[in-house]
Amino acid sequence: MGHSFRVYRKEEHHVSGESTTRDGRPAPMPYSTFFADGGIAFHAGDPSRSSAGCIRMETPDAQATFAELQNGDKVQVVNASQEAAARGA
């Protein structure tokens, strides 16, 4: 968190090379927008589940992020509640 990154790849129908589903298939990572080394991405998935470093988002949010961000765009990962508190919101 807190570092600036750049989008370097986008894949609408990506599947994980690390995580699997309960039946052993590669876990889907729809609307993946990759921004950090090691395959770290914003993607659709259950935000309440733990991740190996990716940012899981509700599907509509992942779709919007995927559509808006382009390769080379700068992104920064922050804790939203801490950012809001720091800004007095």
The per-residue b/e assignment along 11-46, b for 16 or more CB within 10 angstroms, e otherwise, is eeebebeeeeeeeeeeeebbbbbbbbeebbbbbbbe
88: domain range? 1-8+30-89
For residue 25, being part of any structural domain is answered with no
Summarised one tens digit per residue, pLDDT across range 12-49 is 999 998 888 889 999 999 999 999 988 899 999 999 88
For residue 24, being part of any structural domain is answered with no
Alpha helices (H) along the chain: 59-68, 80-86
Q: Does the pLDDT value for residue 89 go beyond 70?
A: no
Q: Specify which residues 70 forms β-bridges with.
A: none
Burial of 68 by CB count in 10 Å (0-12 exposed, 13-18 middle, 19+ buried)?
A: exposed
Looking up residue 82, the CATH number of its domain turns out to be: 2.40.440.10
Q: Which residue did the predictor score with more confidence, 84 or 66?
A: 66
Q: Which residue did the predictor score with more confidence, 22 or 3?
A: 22
What pTM does this model have? Answer: 0.84
* Pairing between β-strand 40-44 and β-strand 55-57 as defined by DSSP bridges: parallel
Summarised one tens digit per residue, pLDDT across range 52-63 is 789 999 999 999
Q: Specify which residues 22 forms β-bridges with.
A: none
For residue 20, being part of any structural domain is answered with no
The whole-number average pLDDT for the span 74-88 is: 82
For residue 23, being part of any structural domain is answered with no
